Structure 1
Amino acid sequence: MKLIVRHQTIYRYANSAGRVAMLLRLMPVSTPAQTVIDWHVSVNDAPVTGFRANGHGEMQAVWTQRDGLDRAVIVAQGLVETHATNGVLGMPASRIDPRYFLRESPLTQASDAIRAAALAVPAGGGALARLHAWSAAVSDAVRYRTGVTSVSTTAAQAFALGAGVCQDHAQIFIAGARAMGLPARYVSGYLLADEDNELHETHGWAEALVPGLGWVGFDPSNRVCVTERYLRLACGIDADEAAPIRGSVTAAGDISIDADVRIAQAQEGIQERQLQRQQQQLAPPSLPMG
């Protein structure tokens, strides 16, 4: 499957920002599950260069602006071919020891309730079967509901609430997998959703390390392992570390953020023309700068 993506994020600063620095993890890399055909990242219409591989083997770049700035428009767009692997990513090149993903973070610390629920999952059938069962248990225990959690909500809080969104499902899954002794990590990226449930934001899911198989992607929110409808961007110990954009700003006052993701399946044989058309038709109206 070939996917066309346009992801636009607009930061607006109430007062001119004296200095803005952003870590951009918006450049997907080719893996057994995806092949990057064409991809570009820009800020305020200027191409971002200098992407380098980090310890995870993923691409990142730092963008800085030291002059007065009242908004930053970040656009990532391109064409990627995805492949059906039954969720199996394997063991892509990485300088990070997988045991790093056994560590807890404030967002993924397992509460007693999460630990008890995860360890109650039958161990028969091996690690993969146990993780499938745990993913289903998370989905059953935490109803998908928007507006009740935020980016700062922890796995323990969302589990106690019994409701949340993809970030919450993924972080609860991660907390439980680590309680089982299996490394697990958060993944940010894109999902080509059904026509009746179109998404206009990034998506989050989890990967767990299955002995003898490698990293496997689980999406408790949709009760599936990752399919060819998923496009992977970045991973981390939790949602914060895996965020596609992280930044700091000085002397900016209030900051507002608007994000919009448009994703579609490319038509065979006319991908480049369709990509150009998608960029023109699906892009939200551009805003004047300055």
Structure 2
Amino acid sequence: MILTVDHVTCYRYNRPARALVQSHRLMPSNCAGQRVLNWTVTVTDGIAGGTFRDGAGDWIQGWTVPGPVSEVTVAVRGAVETSDQAGVLRGHRELTPPDCYLRSTPVTRADAALTALAAEAGGAGEALDRAHRLADLVADAIAYEPGVTEAHTTAAEALKLGRGVCQDHAHALIAVARAAGLPARYVSGYLFTEAGRDHEAAHAWAEVWVHGLGWVGFDAANRCCPDDRYIRLGSGLDAADAAPIRGIARGHGIERLEVQVAVQAVQQ
């Protein structure tokens, strides 16, 4: 499948910022499941900085916008050829050892309820089977409902609420997988959805390390493993660590953020 992406992020400030510095994780890597056909990232009045591949195999690009600046637009446009790999990440270059992803963060820390949920999957059997059971348990425990959680909602809070979005499903699955002794990480990317589906084009899921197989993706929000509808951007310990755009503005103004994402399938 060939997917096109049109992703526009606009930052507005009620008082001009003196300068803006950003770090982008907006370039998909080529691997067995995806091949970048064309891809551009533009930043209004931005000066491109260094580009490098981090230990997790993701491309990082730095940008600086000199001020005073009242509005900045980051536009991502491109096309990627995708194929279904049954969720298995193959051919992806990275150096970070999987055990590094056993470390919890404040939003993925397992409380008593998450630890109990992890125990329901059992400690016996193949790691892949346990990972599937954990993903099913998270999907059953947290119903997909936009607008009920926030960017800083923790996995424990989402589980207690019983509702959330893809970020909450990913955080909860990461928490229970780590509690079960399985390295897990957060993945940001894009999802092509058919008309009438609730899920947004900017998407997130989790990857669990299975010894002998590698990283396997699980989208608990959609009760599936990533297939050719998905474009993988980058990964991290949690949503903040894997954020496509991170940055800081120098000044005392209030920032307002607007995001529009469209993913379409085109005929090959």
Q: TM-score range by the shorter chain?
A: over 0.9
Where does 1:64-213 land on structure 2 (aligned, <5 Å)? 64-90=64-90, 92-197=92-197, 200-213=200-213
C-alpha deviation, 1:256, in angstroms: 0.5
What secondary structure sits across from 1:26 in the alignment? strand
Q: Deviations over 1:9-35 (max 9, x none)?
A: 000011110021111111111011111
CA distance in 2, matches of 1:49, 1:35: 24
Structure 2, unaligned stretches of length 5 or more? none
Aligned to 2:262: 262
Does the 8 A contact of 2:48 with 2:64 survive in 1? Answer: no
Does the 8 A contact of 2:16 with 2:251 survive in 1? Answer: yes
Q: Matched residue pairs, number? A: 268
Distance 1:196-1:187 versus aligned 2 partners, 3 A rule:
same
- The answer on 1:222 being equivalent to 2:244 is no
Does the 8 A contact of 1:90 with 1:213 survive in 2? Answer: no
CA distance in 1, matches of 2:107, 2:122: 26
C-alpha deviation, 1:125, in angstroms: 3.9
**How large is the RMSD of aligned CA atoms in angstroms?**
1.5
The normalised TM-score by structure 1 is 0.89
C-alpha deviation, 1:96, in angstroms: 1.2
For 2:207, give the aligned amino acid.
E
Aligned to 1:282: none
Task: Point out 4+ residue stretches in structure 1 off by more than 6 angstroms.
Answer: none
Where does 1:273-288 land on structure 2 (aligned, <5 Å)? none
Aligned to 2:16: 16
What secondary structure sits across from 1:193 in the alignment? coil
CA distance in 1, matches of 2:174, 2:126: 18
For 1:146, give the aligned amino acid.
P
CA distance in 1, matches of 2:264, 2:198: 10
Distance 1:48-1:193 versus aligned 2 partners, 3 A rule:
farther
CA distance in 2, matches of 1:37, 1:48: 22
Structure 1, unaligned stretches of length 5 or more? 269-290
C-alpha deviation, 1:121, in angstroms: 0.9
CA distance in 2, matches of 1:237, 1:208: 12
For 1:117, give the aligned amino acid.
L
Where does 1:241-260 land on structure 2 (aligned, <5 Å)? 241-260=241-260
CA distance in 2, matches of 1:242, 1:125: 30
For 2:128, give the aligned amino acid.
L
What secondary structure sits across from 1:242 in the alignment? coil
Distance 1:221-1:199 versus aligned 2 partners, 3 A rule:
closer
Q: Deviations over 1:67-98 (max 9, x none)?
A: 20001100111010111110000463212121
For 1:126, give the aligned amino acid.
E
CA distance in 2, matches of 1:232, 1:170: 14
CA distance in 1, matches of 2:123, 2:82: 32
Does the 8 A contact of 2:33 with 2:90 survive in 1? Answer: no
CA distance in 2, matches of 1:123, 1:106: 25
C-alpha deviation, 1:45, in angstroms: 7.0
Q: Which moved more, 1:62-71 or 1:87-96?
A: 87-96
CA distance in 1, matches of 2:227, 2:128: 16
Give 1 or 2: higher strand fraction: 2
Identity %: 43
Aligned to 1:278: none
Does the 8 A contact of 1:42 with 1:48 survive in 2? Answer: no
